[in-house]
Structure 1
Amino acid sequence: MKKAIFFSLLVFALAPATAQKTDKKLESQLNELLKGFNGNMGIYVHDLKKNRIAAINADTVYPTASMVKVPILAGIMRKIEDGELQYHQTLTYKDSLLYAGVDILGSFKNGEKIELSKVMMLMLTMSDNTASLWLQTLAGTGTRINQLMDSLGLRETRVNSRTPGREAFRTQNGWGQTTPREMALLMEKIVNKEVVSPSASERMLRILGRNYWDENAISQIPADVFVASKSGAVDATRNEVLFVNSKKNPYIFCICSKNNKDTSWNEETNEAWVLTRKVSDLLWKYFNR
């Protein structure tokens, strides 16, 4: 009998102090917004004040598009923390690093110098793909980054591109893959100073707070509110993850989509982007009414 009582007390002691509850009212409003969307969309929201969540297809795997740059950032910070790289060290750009497109770094001449910190800025602020692929290599390739994600308890968040053994996943999901819940959780771990180290997490949060691409979810949040974010888009996928540090009620949310019928690139009219703005507007008003 005593053993049974002790076991029950032990289980109680090990249980989370504040278990998350589902905000059914918010979930219902989000479901209403998603009705009729021509594609597959998932959303995960965490109310950091009341520790409540809303989740719609939150554990479905989606292509990351450029959201993969958050795991790459974590991988680079791990290398800096271990002393294998220095935040302000000088790097030499080579033409072989070029990823064809309209990237700023891709316009560099062979042999030009640039600080690692500025390459990191280009990856997150401008979503520069040449910078991102260079940093992916410097971080130890997707293999090492994926090991780091696994150590954080993220089982689906993976780099696929240029990563041995991930070829089939790349064919299906492109550069990387994640779920809305996991990408939001990665952001939350950064906010809680749990990724690499407290100082590394703080630096990551500052970098993520300098997003040039601010015309969708971010556009619905007042300009004087700190937002850390990363978006990503390819033809049939539009994603965004945000930490919104509202003084009244901070929250984190991630919205992902795939198989979108509307693959246009008009910011004002693309169906997924329009819906992203509506979701962000709903969340801001819901948490700050």
Structure 2
Amino acid sequence: MLEDLKGRAGLAIEIDNDCFYFNYEEVFPSASVIKVPILMEALRQAESGSININESVQIRHRVGGSGVLQALSDQVVVTVKDLMTLMITVSDNTATNMMIDLLGMDAINTSIESMGMQKTVLQRKMMDFAAIERGINNLTSPADIITSLKVLDQGDFLTEESRKLALEIMHAQQFHDKLSAMIDPEAIFVAGKTGSLPQVENDCAVFKWGNKTAYVAVLMDQLEDSYSGRQVISKVGKYIYDSLIA
């Protein structure tokens, strides 16, 4: 299925001791899946006291694309935790850029490296297409995304409380047209983050059913047809769902 795709694809799946990899160390544009390590760095800084996630902030530097903050009035005040939640659940680009300003791009990249993500880098803010045209993009690999999901779910990079909050936020994901499109959301726990750019379709998720856990990352670029890419990702999600509940 992946080989027949009109585009380039990379996939990594780990279910307990079973693994499936396809171009999993190749580098792809990250699109919005880069927001997962941003969320993790935000929680790390909250633990250290560098930021207060209950602090109120005003919306600034609105950008387009996905999200709701760009459409709200100047009178609206949100918390840092709200920014984190909007960044993941509706992939809000304004919220993401505000989080990058708050956390610092260097700090985010330092934590990305410390988590063992070897080919992932945050080099630009969201919706900065001028940077992309100059060859400056946010990059990652399926292997790195799997690493981040495992660290988020079971590592010691964050406390148990922070890991639980991260999974809850990702479980509230509002986009269900890829990995979770063909599964029963009431039957299985899914915490994920999607991402899209022109010719790019990405998704990653933690699936939990009973005592089984699956970590999944699918990255695609150079797509002739983004809809076909999303369909393939949906089928991957269904295969994993069927495997877990079998």
TM over 0.5: yes
Pick one of 160, 175, 186 that aligns with 1:213. Answer: 175
Q: 1:6-47 deviations in whole A, cap 9, x for unaligned?
A: xxxxxxxxxxxxxxxxxxxxxxxxxxx223210110110001
Q: 1:138-196 deviations in whole A, cap 9, x for unaligned?
A: 112x211010011111111111105xxxx98884473x211101101101111104333
CA distance in 2, matches of 1:127, 1:108: 16
CA distance in 2, matches of 1:171, 1:228: 34
Match of 1:228 in 2: 191
Match of 1:127 in 2: 91
What is the aligned-residue RMSD (CA, Å)?
2.1
Match of 1:41 in 2: 9
* Matching of residues 138-157 of structure 1 within 5 Å: 138-140=102-104, 142-157=105-120
Work out whether residues 156 and 177 of structure 1, in 8 Å CA contact, stay in contact via their aligned partners in 2.
yes
CA distance in 2, matches of 1:55, 1:276: 14
Match of 2:235 in 1: 278
Q: Does 1:136 align with 2:100?
A: yes
The number of equivalent residue pairs is 242
Q: 1:248 to 1:173 in 2, by over 3 A?
A: farther
CA distance in 2, matches of 1:102, 1:260: 20
Match of 2:29 in 1: 63
Q: 1:98-138 deviations in whole A, cap 9, x for unaligned?
A: 11346311123335311111111111101010001101111
Q: 1:180 to 1:170 in 2, by over 3 A?
A: farther
Match of 2:215 in 1: 252
Match of 1:204 in 2: 166
Work out whether residues 248 and 287 of structure 1, in 8 Å CA contact, stay in contact via their aligned partners in 2.
no
Q: 1:281 to 1:79 in 2, by over 3 A?
A: same
Match of 1:91 in 2: 57
Larger RCO, structures 1/2 (Cα 8 Å, 6+ apart)? 2
Work out whether residues 161 and 170 of structure 1, in 8 Å CA contact, stay in contact via their aligned partners in 2.
no
Aligned sequence identity (%): 21
Match of 1:107 in 2: 71
Q: Helix, strand or coil: the match of 2:107?
A: helix
CA distance in 2, matches of 1:238, 1:104: 21
What TM-score results when the alignment is normalised by the length of structure 2?
0.91
Select the structure of larger CA radius of gyration. 1
Task: Give the letter aligned to residue 82 of structure 2.
Answer: K
Pick one of 106, 117, 124 that aligns with 1:161. Answer: 124
